[in-house]
Amino acid sequence: MAAAVLAGLLCAAGCGSDGGSGGGDHPGRSTAPTPTPSGDPAEQAAYLVRHLSDAELVGQVLMPVAYGYRADSVSKQSAAHNRSIAGADTPAQLVRRYHLGGLMLVNEGGGAGDPTAQTNPTSNIATPGQVRRLTGGLQQAGRTAGLPMLIGTDQEFGTVLRIGTGISPLPTGLGVGAAHDAKLTRTAWAMAGSELAALGVNVDFAPDADVLGGPGNTVIGSRSFGSDPTAVAGQVSAAVGGLQSAGVAASPKHFPGHGHTSTDSHRAMPVLTQSRAQLDAQDLPPFEAAIRAGSWLIMAGHLDVQSIDPGVPATLSHKLLHDVLRGQLHYDGVVVSDALNMAPITDRYDGGQAAVHALLAGNDLLLEPPNLTAAQHGLLAALKSGQLPRSRLVEAARRVLTLRARLARFGQPAASTVHSAGHEKVAQQVAAAAMTVLRGRCSGPLVSGTVRLTGGTEQKRAWLAAALRADGVSVGDSGGTQVALTGYGDTTADLAPDAAVTVAMDEPYLAAKVHSPTVLASFGATKESMGAVADVLAGKAAAPGRSPVDVPGLPRSAC
């Protein structure tokens, strides 16, 4: 039934909320009110699903993208993109028309949080202030019976960072792993979660729970916490706990593990050739740890797991999602698919069929269907024909609504929370803890005289130069001691053979190929990471980190 009626039903039970404007295009049922629910999120959800129309139930399980920087007013180009995938102009119109339970925030092609990207028609993220205004408008459009809608993004930090300006950044996943301090990890992700919550983002499709199988995996690369399943499991557990303590749902990914393949699942389906025993020992421990930590979501990956369901993406595999994730690992939270607009899905099914198969396989939330209208129509048609049992749709919607009810218990932090002095201190602590000496001295200044910086980007060199000068080190444009920055797509051809110091900012594997007497790994290229590099070079700080992956010919730490 209409959201206004639902709001009255739930508020009669003491929800204390203003309801919201969730009206749409489909009539609801005239179901008589049932006994009022308790404040328990699961009971609230079970109560609500009994009063939702089929179209409203379908809306709960869809989490598309809607382009534009405001909820109710977007550029002509963004409106055209929205019409092409959903037949509506603005994000708010999409939310109301499809009774959506969630919406995805993306930054495609404009750089992570680039303020100039507001002309990008395929983005909805620019600055923290803009994101907060957008999410506020979306919540006005999308509340169901007083429950906040799910607003999610991919904020992993490192190479996957959707909101990149005006926030307190963390280093890469490998950097957090190098710090090898679960307590600090929890603190860091609680900080990150509180900033997301302040911006109105209540779902983070993070942390990455993939265990790296070796240097050949450049797809996951520095997104992972490392190559040791036990260590990665500890980091994943801490990150989940930190995020969710701040009222942001974590979503460890990519189940059952993307770390032992070099194929990019955006473009083709990776094949996992491990035996079942190897999968259990190498890939599943971080997901088991996430479940023990109470993760509210887990993301399924588009992965062909040969030992369990060969030829079928995990996102469409009942054997993996039901038998393994639900049965073996006893997970009862929300299973969210990886984006359904990726090649392993679109190569097999059209938008309607993909949505039906994903729901039947065991996903509860369908991320980024390529065409929202097709996904909705496909699910409703399958429901009518009996291909999709109504019990499966209700089960999925109930899990999503339980999450929404759980998130309703958290208030939104003030905007001043974002990039506060306290948060900046946490970001600096994590960057400093990640610093690792792979070759060279472990104390005292590592450079002398004037320093010349090469490699990296102009911005990274500027950050490092400013930090070195603040530490009393002279920086010049020629001569002197060469400090070379490397990482983020660099190859051996980009290495500086005569550099006195080489700093690996991303994956550390190239460090095995340099001849510098001093080799450092920062595992990050943020301003805070460059500050930590400067402190180590100047002898102002030690480098306590240990590489979370093996680098051929080098120790995990020279210290």
Which residues touch 455 (CB under 8 Å, ≥6 apart)?
A: 461, 484, 485, 486, 490, 494, 496
Q: Is 67 exposed, middle or buried (0-12, 13-18, 19+ CB in 10 A)?
A: buried
Give the alpha-carbon dihedral of 445, 449, 450, 453, to 10 degrees.
-40
CA of residue 289 relative to chain centroid, distance: 17
Q: Is 416 exposed, middle or buried (0-12, 13-18, 19+ CB in 10 A)?
A: exposed
Q: Which of 119, 117, 137 is nearest to 127 (CA)?
A: 117
Q: Which residues pair with 454 in a beta bridge?
A: 484
Q: What DSSP character marks residue 274?
A: -
Q: At what angle do helices 421-434 and 527-537 cross, to 10 degrees?
A: 50
Specify whether 40 is catalytic: no
The active-site residue, picked from 40, 266, 330, 347, is: 266
Tokens 């509340």 sit at which residue? Answer: 143
Specify whether 266 is catalytic: yes
CA dist., res. 261 & res. 458, Å (int): 33
Q: At 96, list the tokens.
A: 């109301």
CA dist., res. 169 & res. 528, Å (int): 8
CA dist., res. 140 & res. 135, Å (int): 9
Amino acid at position 425, single letter: K
Query: Cis link prior to 81 (omega < 30° from 0)?
Result: no
Tell me the DSSP string of 297-314.
EEEEP--EETTTSTTSBG
- Reported as type and span, the H/E element at residue 150 is strand 150-153
What does the buried/exposed string (b/e) look like for 42-59 if buried means 16 or more CB atoms within 10 Å of the residue's CB? bebbbbbbebbbbbbbbb
The active-site residue, picked from 338, 364, 506, 550, is: 338
Active site residues: 266, 338
